[in-house]
Amino acid sequence: MATVTECAIFAGGCFWGMEYWMKRLEGVISVEPGYTGGQEENPTYKQVKAHETGHYEAVRVIFDPEKCNYETVCRHFFEIHDPTQEDGQGIDIGPQYRSAIFYADENQKAISEKTIAILEAKGLSIATKLFPASVFWTAEEYHRDYCDLRHIEPECHVYTKRF
Give the residue numbers marked as catalytic: 14
Report d(CA 120, CA 47) in Å as an integer. 34
Rounded alpha-carbon distances, angstroms, from residue 62 to 90, 96, 115, 127:
26, 22, 20, 24
Separation of CA 30 from chain center: 13
Radius of gyration of the chain (CA): 15
Q: H or E element: which one contains 132?
A: strand 129-132
Sign of CA dihedral 152, 112, 103, 71: positive
Report d(CA 56, CA 7) in Å as an integer. 17
Are 156 and 13 a contacting pair, CB within 8 Å? yes
Q: H or E element: which one contains 113?
A: helix 106-121
